[in-house]
Amino acid sequence: MSLSRRIGILAGGGSLPREVADAVAARGIPLHIVALDSEAEASFGPYPVTRVGWGEIGRMVRTFRQAGVTDLVIIGGVRRPDLGAIKPDFGFFSALATVARLVLAGGDDKVLRGVIAFLEGKGLKVVGPARVAPELIVGAGTLARHTADDAMISEARRGFAAIGALGAFDIGQAAVISNGCLEALEGAEGTDGLLQRVAAQRRAGGIPPGVTRGVLVKRVKPGQDERIDLPVIGPETVTRAVEAGLAGIVVEAGHVLAARRDELAIRADASGLVVAGLEVDRASAAKMLADAAERQRLRRSGGGLAGILLGRGPLAGITIIGRVAVPRRAVRDLRKGAAVIAAMEPHGGSRAVAVVRGHVLAVETGEGPLAAVERAAGHRQWGDSRVKWRAGVATLAGGRDTSPEVVAAAAAAGFAGIAVRLKRFSAGVAPDTVAAADAAGLFIAGLPEAGDENHA
């Protein structure tokens, strides 16, 4: 290590910022922490720390420069802020163009890449936590006493494949697989929310307490910039997995962080839960992504759903059901929801996908369209509480999934409308649902199934 090297840590929530700081200090490297006031709750002990608000971009950059930082690590959990509530400094106003691009980016990957580009444009070299604290990365093998059997490894690989296939849509890094099927997929609620949802669904389904099955998997999304937002597991993940009745947690070896590793292992040992790292077959993953891209190309060239939405203008091929027109700003969300539903078909299907400004908030995987839309309502982004116009689309797999209750939930969530795939020989949208949408000011857009363009 160069004696001139100095590490900056931009700290969010959780224990990892302090753990990274301890690892850096143990190597004898000077460091300075800038902690986001609304996020960072860890005690940073003897280390120099400056606390800033979300709007103090200028102070944040200036602090790192004055500290002589050569490498910057961005670590810890954050929530997208309510832009109407922050207190900006001059640096924030000078970065307004960048902030606007981040707001409109539509998805975590684009936002995070934009953050990295902005900071590196200010002369700060962003590095991943693995570069400065490799001991926090989960390696191959078990992290606790219990080991994964062949059946669990098979389910984990199925989960890795599902996350990989959906990575192009910037959906979450976690999934639950049980009995060989995709039981739940992480949305904007995060891993803890995912596990709470699985626990609730299993209770509602009458699965007795004490029955364990299935595995939580976590991996990076294909093409993800691993300098920021690596998947994380910790002791709370173990507790939530046990409460959900899972048999294990399997993560991608070499690409996932373990917070409070010793406590994690103690909890896993006490509960009988498997916690392990497993390598992903990169060659198979690359082939799977290439196959998915080819399927999308064929849909576009074949004139099916993707072709209608992507190839012949923003509103071509869309049937307006009811009195409310589809605003052009909603077409990106409508398109993405339809594409996610199509991509989910090899993985058990989905009856509803909620997208707001290009950001996938929820993918239905068994709980029903109404529950999925209601779940998405709690995870709107970037100060939506202060936005006066409606944004976002709930895309449904078929007419049978529409109802006045789903319309009411979409309206309460502030969505602009609902998109429905209309299939030949199947029910369309019921009149009472159309009436409810008209009364709420929501559009309903009909999307023909692939090959059914003349039967919408």
Domain membership flag for residue 1: no
- For residue 192, what are its two tokens? 């803890």
For the stretch 52-103, pLDDT in tens is: 887 788 888 999 999 999 999 999 987 665 555 566 665 555 655 555 555 5
Domain membership flag for residue 428: yes
Domain membership flag for residue 189: yes
CATH number for the domain spanning 18: value is: 3.40.50.20
Please give the residue that has the higher pLDDT: either 209 or 104. 209
CATH number for the domain spanning 191: value is: 3.40.140.80
What residues contact residue 366 under an 8 Å CB cut-off, 6+ apart? 183, 184, 201
Is the confidence at residue 15, as pLDDT, over 90? yes
What pairing do the DSSP bridges indicate for beta strands 215-218 and 71-75?
unpaired
Q: Tell me the C-alpha distance between 385 and 452, whole Å.
A: 39
The residue out of 103, 132, 161 marking a domain boundary is 132
Give per-residue burial for 60-95: e unless 16+ CB within 10 Å, then b.
Answer: bbbbbeebebbbbbbbbebebbebeebebbebbeeb
Confidence at residue 54, expressed as pLDDT on a 0 to 100 scale: 75
Complete edge-to-edge strand list for the sheet that includes strand 274-278: 141-142, 274-278, 248-252, 215-218, 174-178, 181-185
Is the confidence at residue 291, as pLDDT, over 90? no
Confidence at residue 122, expressed as pLDDT on a 0 to 100 scale: 83
- Torsion-angle region of residue 239: left (phi > 0), alpha (psi -120 to 50) or beta? alpha
Domain co-membership, 444 together with 302 = yes
Strand, helix or coil for residue 109 = helix
For the stretch 262-272, pLDDT in tens is: 999 999 999 99
Domain membership flag for residue 334: yes
The residue out of 87, 108, 132 marking a domain boundary is 132
Domain membership flag for residue 215: yes
The residue out of 238, 264, 280 marking a domain boundary is 280
Instruction: State mean pLDDT over 315-327.
Output: 84
> Which of 31-35, 142-146, 292-296, 425-429 has the least mean pLDDT?
292-296
Confidence at residue 302, expressed as pLDDT on a 0 to 100 scale: 40
Domain co-membership, 262 together with 289 = no
Percentage of the chain lying above the pLDDT 70 cut: 79
Is the confidence at residue 394, as pLDDT, over 70? yes
Domain co-membership, 300 together with 238 = no
What is the tally of structural domains in the chain?
3
Domain co-membership, 144 together with 62 = no
Instruction: State mean pLDDT over 99-111.
Output: 56
Confidence at residue 286, expressed as pLDDT on a 0 to 100 scale: 53
Domain co-membership, 227 together with 303 = no
Domain co-membership, 199 together with 96 = no
Assign 299 a pLDDT band (cuts: 50, 70, 90): very low
Domain membership flag for residue 2: no
Mean pLDDT of the chain: 84
- In terms of Cβ atoms closer than 10 Å to its own Cβ (0-12, 13-18, 19+), residue 193 is middle
Domain co-membership, 177 together with 126 = no
The reported pTM is: 0.84
Domain co-membership, 319 together with 257 = no
Domain membership flag for residue 387: yes
Domain co-membership, 242 together with 324 = no
Domain co-membership, 313 together with 229 = no
Domain co-membership, 267 together with 180 = yes
Confidence at residue 329, expressed as pLDDT on a 0 to 100 scale: 87
- For residue 260, what are its two tokens? 């409070």
Domain co-membership, 187 together with 228 = yes
Q: Tell me the C-alpha distance between 8 and 62, whole Å.
A: 12
> Which of 160-174, 232-246, 247-261, 395-409 has the least mean pLDDT?
160-174
Q: Tell me the C-alpha distance between 402 and 429, whole Å.
A: 7
Is the confidence at residue 391, as pLDDT, over 80? yes
For residue 2, how far is the Cα from the chain centroid?
36
Confidence at residue 107, expressed as pLDDT on a 0 to 100 scale: 53
Confidence at residue 92, expressed as pLDDT on a 0 to 100 scale: 56
Confidence at residue 353, expressed as pLDDT on a 0 to 100 scale: 96
Q: How many CB atoms lie within 10 A of CB 385?
A: 10
Is the confidence at residue 379, as pLDDT, over 90? no
For the stretch 131-146, pLDDT in tens is: 999 999 999 999 999 9
- For residue 176, what are its two tokens? 């639950």
Confidence at residue 311, expressed as pLDDT on a 0 to 100 scale: 38
Domain membership flag for residue 309: yes
Which range marks the domain in which residue 191 is found?
Answer: 137-280
Q: Tell me the C-alpha distance between 399 and 35, whole Å.
A: 48
